[in-house]
């Protein structure tokens, strides 16, 4: 199989050489965070580990984990390992409650990120001759700017579309000769449907490969996307805490996602015991950033479930592969590409006078788009009041939810004791989507 790598030296490095490189990078990273991040110094001290005891990559399993709670506790910049004057960019994703999870990049981190996103495009044999239509959202979300810089770093021509404006996407796709599409898989299907309504056959355009990620999807969706858009659909994975997109990417051999492990070292652990699991066993994915300057993380627990394999791949890359993410260990939902924790919705509701702490979140996929409805019980007396008061409350909740999540939710106010009570753990979410 014909493989074009953006950084062959690293993507096809011998395993022994790669391990040695990882060990060296781990050593220097641990020494750096010990010196510069009080949070890590405390954690390593508590675990009784001196930085100089970390000699090879095998020592990683002795180090403590980092979690999303640590981001919340160190909000906003407490985990940064450099002075703010070296930080040239911040991004953010959803935290578990009102505060976002904030991540930072130095100039060198941006260069690293550009390269790993260029590698991602390289996994679909992308080159400087390609035209990349980037339909990931630009802004605090990492998808847009990450893939944008990756495209430019590759030397390709980037069309910075962001999400939405679907008819325009289709028009430019034809007129500019787009060859590579970057979007969430659900948005790719939306593009296909709108194109069909417009009478445009996307299979006749120059579109060649799509880089789809940021949300869970399935082989059925892959088939539908490939048929309707006439592309090879690749699964790409990443998350903001470690960098954004550009952590792992499927190649044209379609047998798992190559993890760019010379920078982001993956482990799979048993989520209950924290014990590292061998190849092939499913568990929680954990990442260590070996080279990042602004935010180097030690053993960050992603909560994503998958398996790893070191079996050789037909493309020739030697990098470890992760299988498609099959679920999460927590209750995070991804709605229209936005990460949503039910606890975020709860904290909004609890702050609004007139609501009761009984609510239900309903998620559906209608006309290819995710829809979210929040049913919430309100005080008895509001129902005997004027309708206008209920209307005001509904608008207020909708507004607050939008300002925290950036999502428009349908808000339904219901009378007290309408929502079913549970005997044990309350069921707060009904997700009816079939992906
Ligand atoms: O979604 C980064 C990204 C942008 C990845 C564009 C790929 C493409 P976050 O907003 O921090 O970052 O969300 C990260 O999304 O922990 C997974 O649960 C989920 N996720 C990301 N990629 C995939 C994928 C970006 N390919 C969270 N399959 C992660 C399944 C994915 N889930």
Which tens digit of pLDDT belongs to each residue from 214-257?
Answer: 998 988 889 999 999 999 999 999 999 999 999 999 999 999 99
Residue having the nearest C-alpha atom to atom 25 of ligand 1:
239
Average pLDDT, stretch 149-162?
98
37 C-alpha vs ligand 1 centroid, how far in Å? 26
Distance CA 293, CA 106 (A): 6
Residue having the nearest C-alpha atom to atom 28 of ligand 1:
216
Q: 170: which 2 tokens? A: 């289709």
pLDDT digits (tens, 9 = 90+) for 42-73: 999 999 999 999 999 999 999 999 999 999 99
Ligand 1, pocket-test mutation among 184, 239, 248, 328, most atoms within 8 A of CB: 239
Percent of the chain surpassing pLDDT 90: 83
213 C-alpha vs ligand 1 centroid, how far in Å? 6
Ligand 1, pocket-test mutation among 214, 242, 302, most atoms within 8 A of CB: 214
Residue having the nearest C-alpha atom to atom 16 of ligand 1:
239
- Ligand 1, residues at Cβ distance < 6 Å: 93, 136, 141-143, 213-216, 235-240, 244-245, 302, 304, 325, 328, 334, 339
Residue having the nearest C-alpha atom to atom 1 of ligand 1:
214
pLDDT digits (tens, 9 = 90+) for 312-344: 999 999 999 999 999 999 989 999 989 999 889
pLDDT digits (tens, 9 = 90+) for 246-272: 999 999 999 999 999 999 999 999 999
- Between the CA of residue 392 and those of 30, 397, 416, what are the distances in Å? 53, 9, 18
Distance CA 360, CA 404 (A): 18
pLDDT digits (tens, 9 = 90+) for 276-323: 999 999 999 999 999 999 999 999 999 999 999 999 999 999 999 999
Output the pLDDT for position 380: 85
143 C-alpha vs ligand 1 centroid, how far in Å? 9
Does 23 have pLDDT greater than 80? yes
pLDDT digits (tens, 9 = 90+) for 128-142: 999 999 999 999 999
101 C-alpha vs ligand 1 centroid, how far in Å? 14
Distance CA 14, CA 319 (A): 9
**Span of 37-41, 99-103, 131-135, 257-261 with lowest mean pLDDT:** 99-103
* Cβ partners under 8 Å of residue 164, min gap 6: none
Average pLDDT, stretch 91-106?
90
- Give strand pairing partners of 90: 104
305 C-alpha vs ligand 1 centroid, how far in Å? 12
pLDDT digits (tens, 9 = 90+) for 349-406: 988 998 988 899 999 998 778 999 999 999 888 877 788 889 999 999 999 999 988 8
Distance CA 78, CA 385 (A): 47
* Cβ partners under 8 Å of residue 210, min gap 6: 180, 181, 182, 183, 188, 225, 229, 231, 232, 233, 234
190 C-alpha vs ligand 1 centroid, how far in Å? 19
323 C-alpha vs ligand 1 centroid, how far in Å? 14
Does 422 have pLDDT greater than 80? no
Does 97 have pLDDT greater than 80? no
Which of 155, 116, 157 lies closest to 246, judged by CA?
A: 116
245 C-alpha vs ligand 1 centroid, how far in Å? 7
236 C-alpha vs ligand 1 centroid, how far in Å? 8
Given pLDDT bands bounded at 50, 70 and 90, which one contains residue 5? very high
Cα angle at 407 between 405 and 409, to 5 degrees? 115
Does 207 have pLDDT greater than 80? yes
Q: 386: which 2 tokens? A: 């004027």
pLDDT digits (tens, 9 = 90+) for 403-416: 988 899 999 999 98
Atom of ligand 1 nearest to the CA of 216: 30
Model pTM?
0.92
390 C-alpha vs ligand 1 centroid, how far in Å? 37
Could you give the residue ranges of the DSSP H alpha helices within 85-131? Answer: 107-122
Output the pLDDT for position 254: 96
Output the pLDDT for position 396: 95
Give one DSSP letter per residue of 333-345, joined into a string.
EEETTEEE-HHHH
Residue having the nearest C-alpha atom to atom 4 of ligand 1:
143
Burial 106-144 (b: 16+ CB within 10 A, else e): beebbebbbbbbbbbbbbbbbeeebbbbbbbbeebbbbb
- Give strand pairing partners of 235: 212
Distance CA 5, CA 2 (A): 10
- Long-range Cβ pairs for the range 347-355 (8 Å, 24+): 347/97, 347/98, 348/98, 348/397, 348/400, 348/401, 348/404, 349/374, 349/376, 349/397, 351/400, 352/393, 352/396, 352/397, 352/400, 354/378, 354/379, 354/382, 354/393, 355/379, 355/393, 355/397
Output the pLDDT for position 1: 78
167 C-alpha vs ligand 1 centroid, how far in Å? 25
**Span of 20-24, 72-76, 186-190 with lowest mean pLDDT:** 186-190
- Give strand pairing partners of 287: 266, 300
Output the pLDDT for position 381: 84
Side-chain half-sphere exposure of 35, counting CA atoms within 13 A: 10
Distance CA 430, CA 313 (A): 39
Higher pLDDT: 180 or 95? It is 180
Residue having the nearest C-alpha atom to atom 30 of ligand 1:
216
Q: 239: which 2 tokens? A: 């998350």
Structural domains for the chain: 8-330 (3.40.50.12780), 335-431 (3.30.300.30)
Q: 156: which 2 tokens? A: 């390709």
Which of 159, 162, 227, 217 lies closest to 186, judged by CA?
A: 217
**Span of 91-95, 184-188, 259-263, 422-426 with lowest mean pLDDT:** 422-426
Output the pLDDT for position 148: 98
Atom of ligand 1 nearest to the CA of 324: 28
Residue having the nearest C-alpha atom to atom 29 of ligand 1:
239
Atom of ligand 1 nearest to the CA of 235: 26
Q: Please provide the average confidence, as pLDDT, over all residues in the chain.
A: 95
Higher pLDDT: 344 or 114? It is 114
Pairing of strands 300-306, 308-309: unpaired
Distance CA 2, CA 410 (A): 49
Residue 379 in contact with residue 354, Cβ under 8 Å? yes
């Amino acid at each position: 199989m014909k493989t074009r790598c953006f950084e062959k030296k690293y993507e096809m490095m011998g395993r022994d050489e790669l391990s040695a490189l990882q060990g060296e990078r781990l050593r220097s990273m641990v020494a750096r965070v010990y010196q510069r991040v009080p949070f890590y110094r405390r954690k390593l001290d508590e675990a009784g580990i001196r930085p100089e005891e970390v000699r090879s990559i095998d020592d990683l399993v002795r180090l403590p984990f980092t979690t999303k709670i640590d981001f919340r506790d160190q909000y906003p910049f407490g985990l940064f390992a450099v002075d703010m004057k070296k930080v040239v960019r911040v991004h953010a994703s959803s935290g578990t409650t009102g505060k976002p999870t904030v991540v930072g990049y130095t100039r060198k981190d941006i260069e690293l990120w550009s390269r790993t996103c260029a590698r991602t495009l390289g996994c679909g044999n992308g080159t400087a001759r390609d035209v990349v239509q980037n339909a990931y959202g630009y802004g605090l979300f990492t998808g847009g700017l990450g893939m944008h810089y990756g495209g430019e770093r590759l030397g390709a021509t980037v069309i910075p579309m962001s999400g939405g404006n679907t008819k325009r996407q289709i028009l430019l796709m034809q007129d500019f000769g787009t060859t590579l599409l970057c979007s969430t898989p659900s948005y790719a299907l939306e593009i296909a449907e709108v194109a069909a309504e417009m009478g445009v056959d996307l299979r006749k355009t120059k579109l060649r490969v799509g880089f789809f990620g940021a949300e869970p999807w399935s082989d059925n969706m892959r088939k539908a996307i490939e048929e309707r858009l006439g592309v090879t659909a690749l699964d790409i994975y990443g998350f903001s805490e470690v960098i954004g997109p550009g952590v792992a990417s499927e190649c044209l051999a379609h047998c798992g996602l190559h993890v760019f492990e010379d920078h982001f070292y993956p482990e799979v652990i048993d989520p209950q015991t924290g014990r590292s699991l061998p190849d092939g066993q499913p568990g929680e994915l954990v990442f260590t950033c070996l080279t990042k300057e602004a935010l180097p993380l030690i053993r960050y627990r992603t909560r994503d479930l998958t398996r790893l394999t070191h079996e050789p791949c037909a493309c020739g890359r030697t990098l470890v592969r992760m299988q498609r993410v099959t679920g999460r260990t927590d209750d995070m939902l991804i709605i229209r590409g936005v990460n949503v924790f039910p606890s975020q919705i709860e904290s909004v509701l609890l702050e609004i006078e007139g609501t009761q702490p009984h609510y239900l979140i309903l998620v559906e996929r209608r006309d290819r788009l995710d829809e979210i409805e929040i049913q919430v019980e309100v005080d008895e007396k509001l129902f005997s009041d004027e309708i206008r008061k209920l209307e005001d409350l509904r608008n207020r909740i909708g507004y607050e939810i939008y300002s925290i999540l950036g999502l428009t939710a349908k808000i339904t106010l219901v009378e007290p004791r309408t929502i079913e009570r549970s005997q044990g753990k309350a069921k707060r979410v009904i997700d009816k989507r079939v992906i």
